[in-house]
Amino acid sequence: MCNIASHGIGPSLYRKLPYDAIRDFAYIGLIATTPNVMVVHPSVPATTVAEFIAYAKVNPGKVSYGSSGIGTSTHLAVELLKSMTGIQLVHVPYKGGAQSSADLIGGQIQLLITNLPEQVAYIKAGRTRALGVSTAKRSPQFPDVPTIAEAGVPGYEVTVWYGLCAPAGLPRPLLDKMNADLVKAVSSPDTVKRLADVGIEAAPNTPEQFATFARAEVAKWAKVVKDSGATAD
C-alpha cells in the first residue's frame, strides 16, 4: 500500500528515508481518493472561504488551526493555503484527527482542513461549518460545498489518495494482472457505494497514470514542505 503520506509528502519531510519513493516502487494502480474539507467552529464569523481569509487577515496570528501532526496532509494543506493567501495562522499539532476534531468542536481551535470522512457527521449535525473541499471538484456527498479553488483560492488543490505499490522490477505481465484485479475490485458497485457513503471516491487507473500522478505529488509536496519549514527528522 502507498499513500499521500508515504509516497507524496514523506520523501521531502524525511531526509533519511530508506527508500526512493519513485525509483524503488512499481506503481500498480490508484485505489481511491478523498478530499480534505475546510471546516471552522460555528462561532467563526465566516460562511465562505473568502470571508475566512478576510477574517484571518484582520486578525493576524490570532486564529489557530489544528492538524493530526507535523508534516501530515492536514498540516500541509493549511500551510499551502497560507502560502497562497498570505494569512497568518497559529498551528496546533495533535497526535491524531480525533483529538483535533474534538478541540475544534469545543472551540479551542478555529480551523481544520482535514479528511472529509471524519467530518461528515459533525458537518451534518452543525457542530462544524464546512467552507470548502480541497479537491479540484466538489464532493458528491456535499455538492453545495464549493471547492476551495472556486471559493477564492484559484489553483488550490489537495487530494488524499491511496494506492497499491510493489517493489520495483515487478514483471510486466504480473503488474498488468494485479492492476486488472485491482480495477475490477475497486470498480464493483458495492465497493463504490461503500466508499462513497463515507466520502471516499473509487479512482482506479493504469500503472502509467498512477506513476505519473505520484511523481507530480512528490514534486508538489517538496515545495510545500520547503516553504513551510516542516521536518520530521
Cell of 177: 494482472
Look up residue 124 and give its DSSP letter: H
Q: What is the pLDDT of residues 202-226, one digit of tens each?
A: 999 999 999 999 999 999 999 999 9
Q: pTM of the full predicted structure?
A: 0.91
**Domain for residue 220, yes or no?**
no
Please state the separation of Cα 139 from the chain's center in Å.
13
The answer to whether residue 233 scores a pLDDT higher than 80 is no
Q: Does residue 68 sit within a domain?
A: yes
Q: Determine, yes or no, domain membership for 45.
A: yes
- Position 206, amino acid: T
Please, what's the largest Cα pairwise distance for the chain?
Answer: 58
CB atoms within 10 A of CB 37: 30
Work out how many domains the chain is built from and give that number.
1
Local confidence band at 175 (pLDDT 50, 70, 90 cut-offs): very high
Query: pLDDT tens-digit profile of 44-61?
Result: 999 999 999 999 999 999
Q: Tell me, what's the pLDDT at 193?
A: 93
Residue 70 counted as domain residue = yes
Q: How many CA atoms lie within 13 A of 132 on its CB side?
A: 26
pLDDT tens per residue across span 178-208: 999 999 999 999 999 999 888 899 999 999 9
Q: Is 75's pLDDT higher than 70?
A: yes
Q: Hey, what's the cell of 146?
A: 464549493
Determine the pLDDT at residue 80: 96
Domain encompassing residue 123: 34-133
Average pLDDT over residues 69-79: 94
pLDDT band at 73 (very low <50, low <70, confident <90, very high): very high
The reply to whether 79 falls in a domain is yes
In a domain, 5, yes or no: no
Q: Are 213 and 165 in contact (CB under 8 A)?
A: no
Examine residue 161 and state whether it is found in any structural domain, yes or no.
no
CATH no. for residue 95? 3.40.190.10
